[in-house]
Amino acid sequence: MEEYGQLADALEESRWAFIWVIQPGSGKRHGPPQPQPQPQPGDEDEGYKPVGLQEKVGKRGMIITGWAPQLVILSHPSTGGFLSHCGWNSSVEAIGRGVPISAWPIRGDQFYSAKLLVDHLKIGVMVTSGDELVKKSEILEAIDRVMDDEETHERAKNLSRIFEAGLPSTSTASIKAFLQLLSSI
């Protein structure tokens, strides 16, 4: 939960507009959030709430508790970056929409997805390289680096165009691609 406070402070201090989607049950130490039934009036969610943040940032920020249309948000032309834990589906959606990523993996395959996005595709930056508490300054730096780097934005857009055109599906194309990969090593 401490990192949620660091993220809230970073978003407050940042110069960028944002949408922060917080799932019910987020911030609890007992593992990932589980699907929840629709809340009823009077139900109390025990997840993290960034108290006072919406008032502090005004129209520059939008905080959504619960489900949000991630692909619609990533598809919007004003979306300039995506702070993500780098689950595979989210990573593919960001790649497909040409949105660079501030990678903040926390478990499992997220670390491999983040490495692919940052080190190989070069369409993002890591928020942190260790498993220490992530600090506000690291979050701010990662957001600024992604939002300010025109080359990263251009690579993300180019990769999106490749995805949009479709990948070759013939075995001949796969063999040629494999041989090209081998010759580049």
- Residue 81: pLDDT over 90: yes
- Looking at per-residue confidence, does 166 or 84 come out higher? 84
Determine the average pLDDT of the residues in 104-130.
93
Average pLDDT over the chain, rounded to an integer = 87
Q: Go through 67-102 and write b for each residue having 16 or more CB atoms within 10 A of its CB, e for each that does not.
A: eeebeebbeeeebbbbbbbbbeebbebbbbbbbbbb
Tell me, what's the pLDDT at 35? 58
Name the fold adopted by 2-184: Rossmann fold (3.40.50)
Output the furthest CA–CA distance in the chain (Å, rounded).
Answer: 63
Q: Which of 19-23, 57-61, 178-182 has the lowest mean pLDDT?
A: 178-182
Tell me, what's the pLDDT at 180? 84
pLDDT band at 183 (very low <50, low <70, confident <90, very high): confident
